[in-house]
């Protein structure tokens, strides 16, 4: 269930970035960097969860 919640959150972030790109309103670079760091943290969490199983 946790993996499903994480995937949903990542999908929502992706949709919001795509919506911003489509409307030509790119997020500020700082925000983009924050999203990248958050995505890396999520990937690390997923890796740990998969290895633990």
* CA separation for the pair 47, 51 (Å, rounded): 6
Cβ pair 6, 47 in contact under 8 A: no
Q: Could you list the pLDDT tens digit for every one of the 53 residues in the chain?
A: 788 888 878 888 887 777 766 565 555 555 556 666 677 777 777 677 777 55
Q: How many CB atoms lie within 10 A of CB 17?
A: 15
């Amino acid at each position: 269930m946790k993996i499903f919640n994480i995937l949903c959150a990542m999908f929502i972030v992706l949709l919001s970035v795509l919506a911003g790109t489509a409307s030509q309103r790119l997020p500020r670079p700082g925000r983009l960097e924050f999203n990248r760091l958050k995505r890396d943290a999520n990937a690390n969490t997923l890796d740990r969860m998969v290895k633990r199983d």
